Structure 1
Amino acid sequence: MTKPLRTIARLSAVALVLSLPAAPLLAQQGATDTMMNEQVKSYDWVRPQADYARKVVMIPMRDGTKLYTVIVHRKGVTDAPILLSRTPYNADKATSRNRSQKIEEILPVMDAEFVNDGYIRVYQDVRGLDGSEGDYVMNRPLRGPLNPTKVDHATDAYDTIDWLVKNVKESNGKVGITGSSYLGFTSLMALIDPHPALKAAVPQSPMVDGWMGDDWFHNGAFRTFGFDYDLGQTVKKGGGAVPKGTGDEYEAYLAAGSAGDYARAYGLTDLPVVRKVLEHPSYDAWWQGQAVDKLLAARKLTVPTMLVVGQWDQEDSYGAPAVYQALEKQDANNDMLSLVIGPWRHSQVNYEARELGPLKWEGDTGLQFRTRYMKPFLDCHLKTQAPACDTPPVLTYASGTNRWAVSKQWPAGDYKPLYLDAGFGLSWSKPQSGSDSYVSDPAKPVPMLPRPIHMQGEEWRTWLVHDQRFVDGRTDVLSYATGTLDKPVHIKGAPKVDLRAATTGQDSDFVVKLIDVYPQENSVDPTMAGYQLGIGIEIFRGRYVNGFATPAPLVPGKTYAFQWSLPNVDHVFLPGHKIMVQVQSSLFPLYDRNPQSWVPSIMEAKPGDYVKATETIQRGGDAASAVWLPVAAD
């Protein structure tokens, strides 16, 4: 018997409802629940499918302070060496470059060769920064007269290594340390009373002596860009670059006046580190006591060390060669210490390094160094089944001919004087006596680059290789040049300046530039035709002619012997090129202006202290100005 039509319709409606999708959960729970807090406490971005393990630990130091440490290695590694870096630039960010599940993607480029060969990579925040506990002190001095506490970067490195070899089960108990700039400094500090498990070190462009030639001063002249670094490094909230706008930094520093007036105008004297620098304009015990090359020279070198620097390092060109010179006498067998000078800007060794500004190299020189030299050096000291060591005593890259070269010592050339000569020439023979003069005006200092100047980004990274024709011909710049070379001149070492000069003022700066002048016709690369390539540029503050710790006014009209070194280089001046030497009295705004009158501290010079002065450069005879070049016999 058939069902009534009304019953059939009712059953059909029920079936239709049952066949519809279920109502959303939130709708079933009611409207109030849609306002629930949707934030969750954390998310582990390292997923189970990752090819690596990443672990964060807080490692206790001897004073109870705990330091934030990130340990990364490929899954499945055993009996593995540890490569440590101690950084003020955030260990967490250094180990999460990309939030990838591939190990070579989360770490800096330079780490790939190591972690892909079973190394354990460790990054640690230095005390007081980012995830680490404690107080931060810029370039914390070694415990002693300048540091009354019982902890420093040496003890922190020791305690960290001790914890790692006892607690990282994948490790073989051998540790190397590396890093560039500030990380180069912490790498060197680990060599002071080192932990027995520290078997190798590769400090790169290390901050060694902030007054002599690294970040804050060069031969007594203050480097103004340090203010930006101080603000970014020591302020928890509101730091970064000095808020002077985005205009011409030449104009901004000139309008502010002295370094002290600039610091006060932007509230930088609230920063302890700035106050310390302003209070110590000369090379006093405060600076000398922090010089890492002096600290290391007083100890026996027990850890094999490879020191690395870029030939055009715009920030820390001084430190690595200074440490090499301080320690080389201990390395009679050439098996404990090596020096590397590559064709790089600051820290470029850790990135792709096929070029620098307009200069092109034969391949990626950074990768070449890491795979051919750095990794074999670390392998032979850190691996359990270690290959034999074959580390070059000195490794350099000859710009000009673009090739790697090995030397037994450094400098690797014999010094020969290239004299300033009449007619703005240069001569290998001492000329007859004479002189040239120019007027130095602090109101119109010689710029470091064509204006407008911005001391950041690519402009800052490559300023040392900028074409120097932009100042050639200024009335306050003297340019001396050889004739066209008919054979190569290869220099391997730090050129030495012997400038015989007098001033009508009571103080003066002198800047000397060693320049490779390219041929006016250069069909191979027309962009380099006539190019004036800086090979070495360095400044000297005249008041320190009798000693960096004893500034004194200059006697107007008296000729002094101002002597200093240019950065270390391996360079070939090719046939068809010329060698040029430029002399000037400012390099602004990289270095603060010398008022050229006498003031106890140039940091506190007032507007009325800045005066014009006539600078006279002597040449030939008994007062022969020269640049001594370390000429190699090849």
Structure 2
Amino acid sequence: MQKLVLFICLITTLSACAQPGPPVNDAAYIKANYTKYEYQIPMRDGKKLFTSVYVPKDQSKKYPFMMDRTCYSVAPYGTDMYKSSLGPSPKFIYDGYIFVYQDVRGRWMSEGIYEEMTPELEEHKTNKDIDEGTDTYDTIDWLLKNIPNNNGKVGVWGISYPGFYTTTALLSRHPALVAASPQAPIADLWRDDGWHNGSFFLVANFGFYPGFTNRQDDKPTQRPGKGFEPGTKDGYDFFMKMGPMKNTNDKYYKDTIRLWNEMIDHPDYDQHWKDRNVLTHLHDIKTAVLVTGGWYDAEDLYGAINTYKTLAKNNPATPVYFAMGPWVHGGWSRGPGDHLGDVDFGGPQGPHYRDDIEFKFFSHYLKGTELNIAPINTFETGTNQWKTYNTWPPKNVEEKQLYFLPGGKLSFNAPASDKDSYDQYESDPANPVPFVADRNETMDMQREYMTADQRFLADRKDVLSYQTDVLDKDVTIAGNIWANLKVATTGTDADFVVKVLDVYPDTAANNKFTGAGVKMAGYQQMVRSEPIRGKYRNSFEHPEPFVPGKVTPVNFELQDILHTFKKGHKIMVHVQSTWFPLIDRNPQTFVNIMKADESDFKKATHKIYTSKEHPSFLKVRIME
């Protein structure tokens, strides 16, 4: 409750700051200056989608539409019940827009059957050929014809799942849709929220689907989902006692949640998931786009980065902007965005995005105001500076390799010895490496894990560590990182987790966000991390076992960063094979892990090679 009160106070404060003059309460202003309407808008196949529309009472001028399509409810319902905030940020409320909120097909008060990340169609030959693109097209057409005093222009925005619906709005290709901002958008459900390179993100998904599943039929409802109450915050203990993944149904869900079963039934990147990859459809886009994400988005970092890259590549004549700040999932939309956990970002970074990038983007394309923003606006962590570029990744970078060397060394110089050196560790599924220091806070994802100090793992024998000498100059990495491992295992499957850390000097001082009992001196800040399920090393669609004892390349992407490892710091890399319960446990035998038995789980010894013949390294882009 205390957090809720603080959040409400924060929103009120931000709203006051958005408008010159005396403080104004957003909710009171909305009620005084907007009229709310509710409609069931017909789609081409006859289904109707529930839509709330907030229209300015001042009808002396025409207004553009700002629309958010969501699977999370447009509540509150009833024309006398108003939202306490409208639009992407409070500044929009006072500038005047027609705000539109719509329950997507099959959710809440809209008709139809819900499909998770509805597969998009390239062709729509009949009225039965529907998807989120056609639903958006039909909605825009209806709004233009039925809501008076509009200026004929539509903008769409949304965060997370609504970010996906914003991306699919582009596929409507409606001429009135002139601006869209997919923010932390899901782009490929298998890769974004489900499996990171084949490793299943357990805590992010297990508790989500019961609460998300408020209906599985075509009957509109305002009833929320029941959720799941584990009775503990200790996810490490809970999931260890749960046992193999099949027990999620045997013990808890009893095959009653269709969307969860789709996860369980499709562990490989098969046609079910390929159909839900919206990136393959992002061509022939004319709408101006602002893609937004956070460097520390634990949910949809992949979606933001790859939605931008795909749009920019496939639509070179279309204005496509990219903004990435030091935020968690959706952290740019409200609040200061000034820190994450113990890490200080040098002041509030959210207001700059909301006022100087997002608001100006929509105002320009919907109202014709001036636009003076760079194509790429990215926050450089480590130095805490905003940087602008014309392309992402920037052009002035040099590809280099950071090699793992014997003795726990990390260097830009390749291993010189012909000796077939390696480091090894035993990975035990019965004693997995925790992903945060406090196991009592592991029932949820704990977004702070993405910058958390990794010194709590110093005594783990199943975590390898490699680090550079103290840096004699700043080293800035810009763009994606690729792990190129040479491994051997005694098992037939294994996960490999690679974490890139920024090691602070012993002279580093605490900041105002440093937690109790924490010292920033020697802090090992995680900068980027990713796992891979080894059986997917050659194909996400066709898994294959390891040959025990055989040296095998395992290459995978750690995604993009813009981070400066400052002079006096060190670069460190961790390699491990469990990360629990952030990801589920790999039995280390080649089986369908979603249907594995307890007897399938085995200890295994993994080798990471550090030799000239079998080098392991990170491929990085260094700013010149």
TM-score by length of 1: 0.86
Q: Write out per-residue CA displacement over residues 282-339 of structure 1, whole angstroms, 9 at most, x where no aligned residue.
A: 011111121011122xx31211111111101011111121122223223445x52122
Q: Cα 1:154–1:350, aligned 2, differ >3 Å: closer, same or farther?
A: same
| Structure 1 residue corresponding to 2:422, chosen from 414, 425, 435 | 435
Unaligned runs of 5+ in 1: 1-44
Q: 2:573 aligns with which of 565, 576, 581?
A: 581
Q: 376, 380, 385: which is aligned to 1:403?
A: 385
TM-aligned CA distance change 1:445 to 1:145, over 3 Å: farther
Asked if the contact 2:45–2:127 (Cα under 8 Å) also holds between the matched residues in 1, the reply is no
With over 3 angstroms needed to count, the CA separation of the structure-2 counterparts of 1:587 and 1:241, relative to structure 1, is: farther
- The counterpart of 1:303, out of the listed 269, 287, 306, is 287
Determine if contact 1:99/1:106 at 8 Å carries over to the other structure. Answer: no
| Aligned partner letter, 1:220 | G
Gaps of 5+ in 2: 1-26, 216-222
The structure-2 alpha-carbon separation of the partners of 1:534 and 1:47, relative to structure 1 and needing over 3 Å to count, comes to closer
In the alignment, the residues of structure 2 paired with residue 561 and residue 99 of structure 1 have an alpha-carbon distance, to the nearest angstrom, of 58
Separation (CA, whole Å) in 2 of partners of 1:238 and 1:377: 35
Cα deviation per residue 1:468-509 (whole Å; 9 max; x = unaligned)? 111133100001111111211111111111111111100000
Counterpart residue identity of residue 501, structure 2: I
Instruction: Verify the 8 A CA contact 2:480 2:561 in the aligned structure 1.
Output: yes
| Corresponding residue of 2:606 | 615
Question: What is the SS of the residue equivalent to 2:347?
Answer: coil
- Preserved CA contact (<8 Å) 2:38 2:78: no
Asked if 1:126 corresponds to 2:104, the answer is yes
Give the 3-state SS of the residue equivalent to 1:215 in structure 2.
helix
Residue identity in the other structure for 2:424: S
Q: 2:431 aligns with which of 426, 431, 444?
A: 444
Is 1:244 equivalent to 2:230 in the alignment? yes
| Whole-Å separation in 2 of the counterparts to 1:606 and 1:148 | 46
Gap change, CA 1:47 and 1:548, over 3 Å in 2? closer
What is the match of residue 548 of structure 1? 540
Which of 447, 456, 479 is the equivalent residue of 1:470?
A: 456
Taking the aligned partners of 1:284 and 1:148, their CA distance within structure 2 comes to 28
Structure 1 position 553, deviation (Å)? 0.9
Equivalents in 1 of 2:224, 2:251: separation in Å? Answer: 16
5 Å-filtered alignment, 1:74-223, equals 74-76=56-58, 78-93=61-76, 106-107=84-85, 110-143=88-121, 149-212=128-191, 214-223=192-201
Question: Residues 158 and 250 (structure 1 numbering): CA distance in 2 closer, same or farther, change over 3 Å?
Answer: same
Q: Secondary structure at the match of 1:372?
A: helix
Shift of 1:74: 3.8
Q: Which amino acid aligns with 2:182?
A: P
Matches of 1:94 and 1:453, distance apart in 2: 38
After superposition, what is the alpha-carbon deviation per residue over 1:159-184, rounded to whole angstroms, capped at 9, x for unaligned? 11111122222311100111110000
Within 5 Å, which residues of 2 pair with 1:345-356? Answer: 345-352=328-335, 353-356=337-340
Q: Is the 2:212–2:227 contact (alpha carbons within 8 Å) kept by the matching residues of 1?
A: no
Match of 1:50 in 2: 32
Give the drift of 1:516. Answer: 0.6
1:83 is displaced (CA, Å) by: 1.1
| Cα 1:110–1:49 shift into 2, 3 Å | closer
Q: Tell me the TM-score normalized by structure 2.
A: 0.87
Distance 2:579 2:424 in 1: 18
1:72 aligns with 2:50: no
Deviation at 1:561, TM superposition (A): 1.4
Question: 1:364 aligned to 2:348?
Answer: yes
The aligned amino acid for 1:631 is: I
Q: Which amino acid aligns with 1:511?
A: V
Q: Distance in 2 between matches of 1:113 and 1:238?
A: 30
Q: Does 2:616 match 1:630? A: no
Q: Which among 601, 604, 625 is matched to residue 595 of structure 2?
A: 604
Q: Structure 2 counterpart of 1:291, which letter?
A: N
Q: CA offsets per residue over residues 378-403 of structure 1, 9 Å max, x none? A: 122111xx134434222110111111
Selected match of 2:358 from 361, 366, 374: 374
Taking the aligned partners of 1:48 and 1:452, their CA distance within structure 2 comes to: 43
Amino acid at match of 1:233: F
Q: CA deviation at 1:55?
A: 2.0
Q: CA RMSD in A?
A: 2.5
Q: Check the 8 A contact 2:236/2:442 in 1, yes or no.
A: no
SS in 1 for 2:120: coil
CA contact under 8 A between 1:54 and 1:71: conserved in structure 2? yes
The residue matched to 1:91 in structure 2 has which SS? Answer: coil
Structure-1 separation of matches of 2:521 and 2:254: 44
Is 1:560–2:543 an aligned residue pair? Answer: no
| Counterpart-to-counterpart distance in 2, 1:607 and 1:567 | 33
Paired residue secondary structure (2:272): helix
1:439 maps to a residue whose letter is E
Q: In structure 2, what is the Cα distance between the partners aligned to 1:94 and 1:551?
A: 47
Structure 1 pair 597–562 and aligned structure 2 pair: CA distance change class (3 A): same
- CA shift, 1:121, in A, is 1.8
Contact 2:537/2:556, CA 8 A, preserved across alignment: no
Residue of 246, 259, 263 corresponding to 1:277: 263
Match of 1:393 in 2: 375
The residue number in structure 2 matching 1:342 is 325
**Cα distance in 2 between the residues matched to 1:407 and 1:94:** 43
Runs of 4 or more, structure 1, over 4 Å off, are 45-49, 143-149
Deviates more, 1:411-420 or 1:609-618: 411-420
Task: Report if aligned partners of 2:232, 2:238 keep a CA contact under 8 Å in 1.
Answer: no
1:590 aligned residue: 582
Which whole-Å CA distance do the structure 2 matches of 1:262 and 1:292 have between them?
29
- Whole-angstrom distance in 1 between the partners of 2:243 and 2:572: 32
Match of 2:508 among 518, 522, 533: 522
8 Å contact 1:341–1:569 — kept in the other structure?
no
Shift in CA distance, 348/485, structure 1 to aligned 2, threshold 3 Å? same
